[in-house]
């Protein structure tokens, strides 16, 4: 997507799990072509320890991960976003700030792994499932061609957000 690094913001309500995973995944799979950010409408202030544990298992950096408000990215001087994706249904229904630069937006809803109950293994399974769904979508996203016009790009990112697990690996 051109020669410049594209900024991608992932939004969720608490910014503790899904958006954190997505931020790490876009940095990993974007291979320097994308810079990931995450934020929440009502950030909890801490990242879920299972998100950190899972990212560490995959060798992804976690040191700078923090739960933060989406207001940081709507403020003057904030990085201008090229793409903004909501990853939870609640954040998708909320009134978002006006993003500088008019980024392409889409909803990529994923069930909340932080809501999982049970043993550590059962909760970690929910995190792995969320991670896998986000990873499939992000892999498809980073393969989109830079030359796409904004209308076509919007249709492509919307389509990625509606893929189910069976069709996610079959292209866009």
User: Out of 12, 47, 116, 134, which one is annotated catalytic?
Assistant: 12
The one catalytic residue in 5, 96, 144, 168 is: 96
CB atoms under 10 Å from CB of 25, counted, come to 25
| Catalytic residue selected from 8, 25, 88, 160 | 88
Q: Does the active-site annotation cover 48? A: no
Domain count, the chain: 1
Is residue 70 in some structural domain? yes
- Whether 93 maps to a domain, the answer reads yes
12 is catalytic: yes
Sequence-distant (6+) residues with CB within 8 A of 47 are: 15, 16, 17, 20, 62, 65, 66, 67
State the CATH number of the domain containing residue 37. 3.40.50.2300
At 129-163, the pLDDT tens digits run 999 999 999 999 999 977 678 888 989 999 999 88
Q: Please indicate whether residue 96 is annotated as part of the active site.
A: yes
Domain of residue 131, residue span: 6-170
Residue 1 lies in a domain: no
Low-confidence ranges of the chain (pLDDT < 70): 1-3, 90-96, 147, 164-172
């Amino acid at each position: 997507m051109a020669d410049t690094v594209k900024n991608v913001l992932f939004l969720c309500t608490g910014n503790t799990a899904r958006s954190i995973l997505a931020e790490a995944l876009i940095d990993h799979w974007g291979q320097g072509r994308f810079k990931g950010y995450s934020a929440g409408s009502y950030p909890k202030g801490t990242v879920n320890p299972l998100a950190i544990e899972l990212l560490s298992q995959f060798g992804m950096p976690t040191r700078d991960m923090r739960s933060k408000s989406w207001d940081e990215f709507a403020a003057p001087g904030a990085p201008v976003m090229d793409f903004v994706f909501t990853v939870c249904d609640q954040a998708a229904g909320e009134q978002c700030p006006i993003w500088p630069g008019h980024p392409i937006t889409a909803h990529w809803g994923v069930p909340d792994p932080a809501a999982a109950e049970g043993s550590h293994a059962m909760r970690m399974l929910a995190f792995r499932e969320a991670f896998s769904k986000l990873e499939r979508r992000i892999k498809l996203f980073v393969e989109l061609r830079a030359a796409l016009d904004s209308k076509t790009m919007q249709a492509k990112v919307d389509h990625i957000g509606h893929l189910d697990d069976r069709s996610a690996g079959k292209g866009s």
